[in-house]
């Protein structure tokens, strides 16, 4: 299986470089405009949005949740993709109601430097986590964690993705995303065809995996419905693509990306649901799928993971350069400085490969909790159009960060919530934490409302 995987990486590298124009304009590098200044088309935006959200770690997580928690787990992870619909509202309100050209500009107007600093910190950590999470998946497809093949495969993917991303910036990401998404859809169709023909598969199987409402899968679904309000706003890849085209194109791209991504991730989760029904005692998900679907099908699955990982890496790098150079203003907005920013983020992602990946995956999982300081911002300020005292933003931010840290510690066997409240499962703990974070943040904003027509503040 190693040779086809290596060949896929090589082919992706060659085609990606062929599709990438050497960028000579700042607008093309940071805003994705073509040589004649045209904005991306609706189809380009849809495919780019979907392929960057259905990244390798997401595919594995969706399947694993289906494997352990049945249809509840599959629906829970799929629910996070409702973010496209809430994200559409957020972008539309910021751009066309409030008149700002970025999320940071809106936060600066409402909360001064406190707003932009807090947001940029969370966004930078998310981008870094996406880099190493996808490099980890590529590495594990080639070798055991920490092995020479593991590190070489991840490094090779990093080098060629960084290479074409530095050449073309956001425009190269958009172009390659269309190609990569097309390839992924073909592979997904093959996997679904294999699943439908697998022994023991039937539509009724989906309903048979439903568990009681107290099952962790359904608990995670409730968590997802709480986090889906703020989740899209802390994803810079999604937000960046919301400021590229006209209003109608932007709306349509978000809506179509929403249903398409939900369909893709749910179908992939069904692989895990099926594997859960066929597993012997102690048998791992991938072992079950290999036994029931065969090695050729598993090769397609691994190829799909590689394609999705690469497609996310280039989009992450383009957003990282925009964040560091244009949004944070760390250097003049030139092509050279944008490329240096990409290099720094990729080096950071590679450095994290040397750490314990289990802890890194836990760090990725808490990002949704960390983003919840944005929920009251969205409800009260973006949609409600109100201003609040700065202290309320600080309360919401501290509450969300405290909740994220607590959940991280709980997944690292801290055991505080078990001893204090008798709560055992990590998703039940996460639900309680989310309720507390939302109560603190929204409560603070409600108490801190300013009279209508109040002016902006700094802080």
- pLDDT tens sequence across 160-182: 899 999 988 888 888 889 998 99
Highest mean pLDDT, choosing among 18-22, 229-233, 312-316, 353-357: 229-233
- Of 366, 344, 167, 198, nearest to 278 by C-alpha is 198
pLDDT in tens, 107-119: 999 999 999 999 9
pLDDT, tens digit (0-9, with 9 covering 90-100), for 2-35: 677 778 778 888 888 888 777 778 888 888 877 7
**Helix, strand, coil percent values for the chain (each to nearest 5):** 80, 0, 20
Q: Please tell me the pTM assigned to this model.
A: 0.92
- The pLDDT assigned to 365 comes to 57
Tell whether the model's pLDDT for residue 84 goes beyond 90: yes
d(CA 215, CA 132): 31
pLDDT surpasses 90 at 454: no
Q: What is the DSSP string of 190-244?
A: HHHHHHHTSTT--THHHHHT---TTSHHHHHHHHHHHHTTTGGGG-HHHHHHTTS
pLDDT at 143: 86
Q: What's the rounded mean pLDDT across residues 335-361?
A: 81
- Mean pLDDT calculated for residue range 406-428: 86
pLDDT at 312 over 60: yes
Residue 65 and residue 217 in contact, taking contact as beta carbons nearer than 8 Å? yes
425: Cα separation from own chain's centroid: 24
Task: Using the predicted structure, report yes or no on whether residue 67 has a pLDDT greater than 70.
Answer: yes
Task: Give me the pLDDT at residue 458, please.
Answer: 52
Helix (H, G, I), strand (E, B) or coil at 388: strand
pLDDT score of 397 more than 80: yes
Q: Which residues lie across from 105 on neighbouring strands?
A: none
pLDDT single digits (tens) 242-279 = 999 999 999 999 999 999 999 999 999 999 999 999 98
Give just the sign of the alpha carbon dihedral 417, 421, 425, 428: negative
Give the tokens for residue 245. Answer: 């085209």
Which of 282-286, 309-313, 372-376 reaches the highest mean pLDDT? 372-376
Look at residue 459 in the predicted model and tell me its pLDDT: 56
Q: CA dist 21 to 101, 156, 170, 319, 336, Å?
A: 26, 21, 11, 18, 16
Phi, psi of 287 (to 5 degrees): -65, -40
């Amino acid at each position: 299986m190693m040779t086809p995987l290596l060949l896929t990486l090589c082919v992706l590298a060659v085609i990606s470089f062929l599709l990438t124009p050497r960028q000579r304009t700042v607008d093309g590098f940071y805003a994705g405009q073509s040589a004649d200044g045209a904005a991306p088309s609706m189809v380009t935006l849809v495919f780019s949005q979907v392929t960057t959200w259905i990244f390798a770690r997401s595919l594995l997580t969706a399947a694993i949740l289906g494997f352990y928690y049945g249809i509840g787990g599959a629906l829970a992870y799929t629910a996070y993709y409702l973010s496209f619909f809430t994200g559409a509202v957020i972008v539309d309100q910021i751009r066309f109601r409030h008149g700002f050209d970025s999320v940071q500009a809106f936060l600066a107007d409402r909360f001064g430097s406190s707003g932009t600093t807090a947001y940029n910190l969370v966004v930078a950590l998310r981008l870094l986590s996406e880099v190493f999470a996808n490099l980890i998946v590529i590495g594990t497809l080639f070798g055991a964690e920490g092995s020479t093949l593991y590190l070489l495969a991840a490094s090779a993917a990093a080098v060629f993705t960084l290479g074409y991303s530095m050449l073309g910036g956001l425009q190269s990401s958009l172009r390659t995303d269309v190609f990569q998404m097309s390839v992924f859809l073909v592979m997904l169709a093959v996997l679904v065809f294999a699943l439908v023909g697998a022994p023991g598969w039937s539509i009724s199987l989906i309903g048979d995996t439903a568990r009681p409402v107290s099952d962790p899968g359904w608990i995670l679904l409730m968590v997802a419905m709480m986090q889906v309000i703020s989740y899209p706003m802390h994803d810079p890849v999604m937000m960046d693509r919301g400021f590229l085209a006209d209003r109608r194109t932007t709306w349509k791209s978000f809506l179509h990306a929403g249903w398409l991504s939900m369909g893709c991730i749910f179908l992939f989760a069904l692989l895990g649901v099926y594997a859960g029904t066929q597993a012997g005692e102690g048998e791992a998900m991938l072992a079950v799928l290999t036994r029931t679907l065969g090695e050729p099908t598993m090769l397609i699955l691994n190829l799909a993971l590689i394609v999705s990982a690469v497609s996310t890496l280039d989009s992450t790098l383009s957003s990282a350069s925009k964040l560091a150079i244009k949004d944070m203003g760390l250097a003049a907005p030139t092509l050279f400085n944008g490329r240096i920013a990409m290099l720094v983020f990729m080096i950071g992602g590679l450095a994290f490969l040397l750490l314990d990946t289990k802890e890194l995956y836990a760090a990725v999982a808490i990002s949704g909790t960390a983003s919840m300081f944005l929920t009251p911002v969205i409800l009260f300020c973006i949609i409600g159009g109100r201003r609040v005292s700065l202290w309320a933003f600080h309360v919401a931010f501290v509450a969300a960060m405290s909740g994220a840290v607590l959940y991280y510690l709980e997944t690292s066997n801290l055991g505080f919530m078990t001893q204090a409240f008798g709560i055992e499962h990590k998703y039940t703990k996460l639900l309680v934490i989310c309720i507390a974070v939302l109560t603190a943040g929204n409560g603070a904003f409600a108490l801190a409302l300013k009279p209508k027509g109040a002016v902006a503040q700094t802080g």
